Amino acid sequence: MMRIALGSDHAGYDLKAEIAVALTSAGHEVVDLGPDNGRESVDYPDFGSAVGHAVVGNLADLGIAICGTGIGISIAANKVSGVRAALVHDVTTARLSREHNHANVLCLGARVLGTQVALDCVAAWLDTTPGEGRHLGRLDKIAALDAAR
Ligand code: RB5
């Protein structure tokens, strides 16, 4: 079981709530970084960065960040050093983001994915073991880019 940080903007709030229920039911600990409602318009960089900081700061093992498209919040999360945030759209990209890219933040677009597809993405991502071999050198190169900025 893992500690999973969740964050969204207003557009992702309802999906965040659905994912929180699913994760809790599966026995994971949810670290909900907000927002606490979907009525007020909020800014995705605030929540994408919060999820990223929670992961690299070891307040959570992994993070999930959600906005309308998943684009803005993935860009924001990836600005936090050590974050490998992946915007995924289906079970295949979710699985490969973990296997090949060791994504430590999963990003979802609530306005472009159905709820069940999003939940399937989360399940596939959590079920996938990060790959080794050829992937590790590539990840080292990403870490070097991160360290150089
Ligand atoms: C909010 O209107 C929207 O811009 C946001 O949820 C996201 O899609 C940005 O990338």
User: What does the pLDDT look like over 129-149, one tens digit per residue?
Assistant: 999 999 999 999 999 999 998
Ligand 1: residue whose CA is nearest its atom 5: 68
Is residue 70 in contact with ligand 1, taking CB distance under 6 Å? no
> Which entry of 28, 53, 67, 107 is annotated as an active-site residue?
67
> Catalytic residue at 107?
no
If one residue of 8, 13, 46, 69 were mutated to test the ligand 1 pocket, choosing by the most ligand atoms within 8 A of its CB, it would be 69
Is residue 15 in contact with ligand 1, taking CB distance under 6 Å? no
Ligand 1: residue whose CA is nearest its atom 8: 68
Q: What's the pLDDT at 123?
A: 98
Q: What percent of the chain has pLDDT over 70?
A: 100
Model confidence over 43-91: pLDDT tens digits? 999 999 999 999 999 999 999 999 999 999 999 999 999 999 999 999 9
Quick one: CA torsion of 131, 126, 109, 148, rounded to 10 degrees? -40
Per the prediction, the chain carries an average pLDDT of 98
Model confidence over 25-43: pLDDT tens digits? 999 999 999 999 999 999 9
Q: Vertex 14, ends 33 and 39: CA angle to 5°?
A: 80
In order of their start, the domains of the chain are 3-147 (3.40.1400.10)
CA 20 vs CA 8, 14, 59, 106, 119: distances in Å? 12, 10, 17, 14, 10
Q: What's the pLDDT at 90?
A: 98
Please tell me the pTM assigned to this model. Answer: 0.98
Q: What's the pLDDT at 40?
A: 97
Q: What's the pLDDT at 112?
A: 98
